[in-house]
Structure 1
Amino acid sequence: MYVLFWFCKSEAKKEAMLRKQDPGHDTLGSICCRVTIEGEYAEIGYVHIDCRKSAWDAENQRLKGNGDNNKKHNKWLNEFKVKIERTFDLLQIEFEHVTAMLVKEFVTEKRLFRFSTLHLITEYIKDRELEVSEKIIVKATVDIEKNYAKNFTNYLESEKLTSRQPRTFDEKIISGFRKYLYETEGFGMPHTHKHIVWLKTLFKHSLKKKRLKFNPLEGCEIGTDNTKPDTTHLTVEQLSKLAKFDFSDLAKRGFIAPQTAHKCELERDAFVFNCFSGMHHIEYTNKLFRIEHCKEGVFLKGSRQKTEEDFMVKLLEPALAILSKYGGSIQNLPSKSNQKRNDTLKQIAVLVGIPVVLSTKIARKTFTDIALNELMMEVSDVASCLGLKNDRYLKHYGRIREKRIAAKMMSWNDILKSA
């Protein structure tokens, strides 16, 4: 299949007269679209873009220049082409022979697809990946949604519901999926709730894209996860113990292999560094940060990939020691995949004797607790260090403890003296 966008001269009397008077007249016109398959073509027609002939780049099938209006039109042309190509792909699944006219009928919505649930999921993921390419969302978000989609597909297969039409879904599909995640997958309430929220988003998005005539899940209530945010973190004593722990001594005494000691030391250093930087695993692993020296100290700066918010943290002594240990270069700091890091961290917790199930998230939460309750930093400043848009979501990383309240509140006698 070949998609062509082409310039069609305006047939308005004024333009026709101007062209007759001056053969070099830069005429007005419209951009049209044509689809060709195996030598046969169909005119899809006007794509709602008008321009002068000189503004149209026929070779590259786009408007010339970088003006805001031209950028908007070129983006629309790209999206329209993607729509045609995806329509062609879907038609190839349903029809033995796909013609240009058949593509036109579905693109112009004279005929509509009857999307299966699996088709809705596939198209949703494609839409989200397109948003990644346009930098509207980050790849990590799509990766998470792919996992939700996989679990929902597994549920449909286990219940033999893959052939059931989406329009027949109701609250039973939500309760069944929830039960499957609880009992079969063993997920907790918060993680399960995120799956259900995603499922409703899938149907809402599908309606918006006209893949459904109505949203059968629109009125279904899903409630909240009814759980308090998990702010598990290391205490100052536990963090200090971990930072100083000698894994090589365990290897010398024969408790662990030298290779294990080396692996644990590397991951411990990465974990402790993040306890003092507050970085998310993605920014740390992809080295999406930089080190800057100034008279006030050494600062770690970067931009949060998920929120696109800048973050900045002053590195304290333990973090500086780790940075120095690896030659002062962020590229030398040890890094692994999230799963491998978490596997090693669980092993480290047992070896060091820390009664916490360690993970990469615990480092970010430990930083938050230190910043709030030990350094007494303002809540908005802590949110800024974490790269959050505001302090609304700070509750998911840390909570204000008694120590902070006690330090902040004066005694009544001090109030009387100051009065």
Structure 2
Amino acid sequence: MSHQVTIYMYARASKANSAGQHPIYVRITIQGKRTEFSTKKFISPSKWDQKKMKMKGNTEEARSINSYLDSVRNKLTQTQVVLEYQAANMTLDTFMNAYQGKSTHRERMLIPIFKDHNKKLKALIGIEYAKGTHGRYEISLKHTQDYIRFQYGTDDIAISQIDHAFVTGYDFYLRTERLCGNNTTVKYIKNFQKIIKICLANGWMTSDPCINYKVKLQEIERNFLTEEELETLVEKQINIERLAVVRDIFLFSCFTGLAYIDVKQLTSDNIVKGIDGQLWIDTKRQKTSTPSRIPLLRTALDIIQKYQDHPKCNNENTLLPVSSNQKMNAYLKEIAAICGIRKELTFHCARHTFATTVTLSNGVPIESVSKMLGHKNIRTTQHYAKITDSKVANDMDNLKAIIESQHINHIKRTS
């Protein structure tokens, strides 16, 4: 966009020196606003050509002053050209700052913005975010810092230097130097994109360097226990107490669909009487703060009653004696070996087992499963719940029976 910049030079009589000479002033006018500054050159009033805005004559003095005035005029013109090329919002202040070589803004750096985001996120733990979310952003920050050092040999980078090449280079670094898988890489870049969005929202960046980053998450085949494996786990006699406790808590999750952290935080206050007069779990998922109401199946009720007087539950006011997630997952590997289950058993596998084997495979509609899992939409539930072959076979058997019945009725009517 072209801006009207008016440059006017004149000999200012009101600032005459003791010798009667007038200083030559430059007046700049932009969008109706103007400012003036002195060139610090003085001239006899009779020697000033106001129409040409230069000193008359061809003397050494005239050539020297006129040459200087030309350089001032050229510099002012060049300032206008540069600002228009940068598509800057040209005001009198921005023009004069650029002319005088003053920075109109402090160069913003990436890492302080990232750290500020993480600091604010930490303050919202338990209010809007889970502790694990903050931890993941701290790891993302570290990877970003390591990438900048690796790629640019410095500890930080100005956000004005972040472009598409930076983003794709970061992706390549995570895959090659950090040996991250596709989904882990995409998640780290997604965290980085949030920082970019903060910069864009505040007007610190004018274009999104991530706009053409098109890598997608790959769907992962999630583990769940089959009906036979679940039955084996229920009936297996385990004489090692630490493993027996973990097995029971894992089974509780298999029959409620609750994630590890949600099981750990359950108290007796979360057990309520439901609309059917039976006992339900009434809680909120820590991850999303979404309400989750789940009717308690007999297996889950038996486990609650089994541990109602457990010392750990009494001391910590919890429903079940849940250990750390790391310890639970380590013990689950031992339990899988004892039960002959040839799958990598993790606590989250229980949530998938509830969605697939316990509910959907037994005819519970996906809408009800989604609500019990505390999902905000059914698309999320579909990632958890894989329709088993036995469910498909049962559904098709039912369909065959209906078609056969319709066929027989048709024959009877036409005979």
After TM superposition, the score normalised by the length of structure 2 is 0.64
Amino acid at match of 2:308: G
Contact kept? 1:116, 1:166, Cα under 8 Å: yes
Selected match of 1:291 from 226, 249, 271: 271
Deviation at 1:297, TM superposition (A): 3.4
Q: Does 1:150 align with 2:137?
A: no
| Structure 1 residues 186 and 351: CA distance shift in structure 2, 3 A | farther
1:260-288 deviations in whole A, cap 9, x for unaligned? x3322222111111011101222111226
Counterpart of 2:318 in 1: which secondary structure?
A: helix
Counterpart mapping for 1:51-66 below 5 A: none
Counterpart mapping for 1:361-372 below 5 A: 361-372=348-359
Which residue is equivalent to 1:400? 387
Give the whole-Å Cα distance in 2 for the aligned partners of 1:216 and 1:341: 42
Give the whole-Å Cα distance in 1 for the aligned partners of 2:331 and 2:301: 23
1:293-319 deviations in whole A, cap 9, x for unaligned? 466533222122233322122222222
Amino acid at match of 1:394: T
Selected match of 1:127 from 111, 120, 123: 120
Deviation at 1:324, TM superposition (A): 1.8
Structure 2: any 5+ residue segments left out of the alignment? 1-102, 411-415
Structure 1: any 5+ residue segments left out of the alignment? 1-109, 249-260
Q: Does 1:378 align with 2:365?
A: yes
Deviation at 1:138, TM superposition (A): 4.0
Identity fraction in percent: 23
Which residue is equivalent to 2:256? 277
Counterpart of 2:405 in 1: which secondary structure?
A: helix
| Structure 1 residues 351 and 112: CA distance shift in structure 2, 3 A | farther
Selected match of 1:301 from 277, 282, 297: 282
Contact kept? 1:264, 1:348, Cα under 8 Å: yes
Counterpart mapping for 1:44-83 below 5 A: none
Contact kept? 1:309, 1:388, Cα under 8 Å: yes
Which residue is equivalent to 1:183? 176
Give the whole-Å Cα distance in 1 for the aligned partners of 2:173 and 2:210: 21
Selected match of 1:237 from 228, 245, 251: 228
Deviation at 1:393, TM superposition (A): 0.6
Counterpart of 1:247 in 2: which secondary structure?
A: coil
1:148-171 deviations in whole A, cap 9, x for unaligned? 223323333344343332322233
| Structure 1 residues 179 and 354: CA distance shift in structure 2, 3 A | farther
Contact kept? 2:130, 2:286, Cα under 8 Å: yes
1:107-160 deviations in whole A, cap 9, x for unaligned? xxx974423221121112133345557x34444433332232233233333443
Give the whole-Å Cα distance in 1 for the aligned partners of 2:174 and 2:241: 37
Amino acid at match of 1:286: Q
Contact kept? 2:258, 2:351, Cα under 8 Å: yes
| Structure 1 residues 237 and 417: CA distance shift in structure 2, 3 A | same
| Structure 1 residues 175 and 349: CA distance shift in structure 2, 3 A | farther
| Structure 1 residues 417 and 149: CA distance shift in structure 2, 3 A | farther
| Structure 1 residues 143 and 418: CA distance shift in structure 2, 3 A | farther
Deviation at 1:385, TM superposition (A): 0.4
Selected match of 1:414 from 394, 400, 405: 405
Cα RMSD after superposing both structures: 2.7
Which residue is equivalent to 1:173? 166
**114-123 vs 337-346, greater mean Cα deviation:** 337-346
| Structure 1 residues 347 and 168: CA distance shift in structure 2, 3 A | farther
| Structure 1 residues 290 and 418: CA distance shift in structure 2, 3 A | farther
**401-410 vs 359-368, greater mean Cα deviation:** 401-410
Contact kept? 1:168, 1:216, Cα under 8 Å: no
| Structure 1 residues 303 and 204: CA distance shift in structure 2, 3 A | same
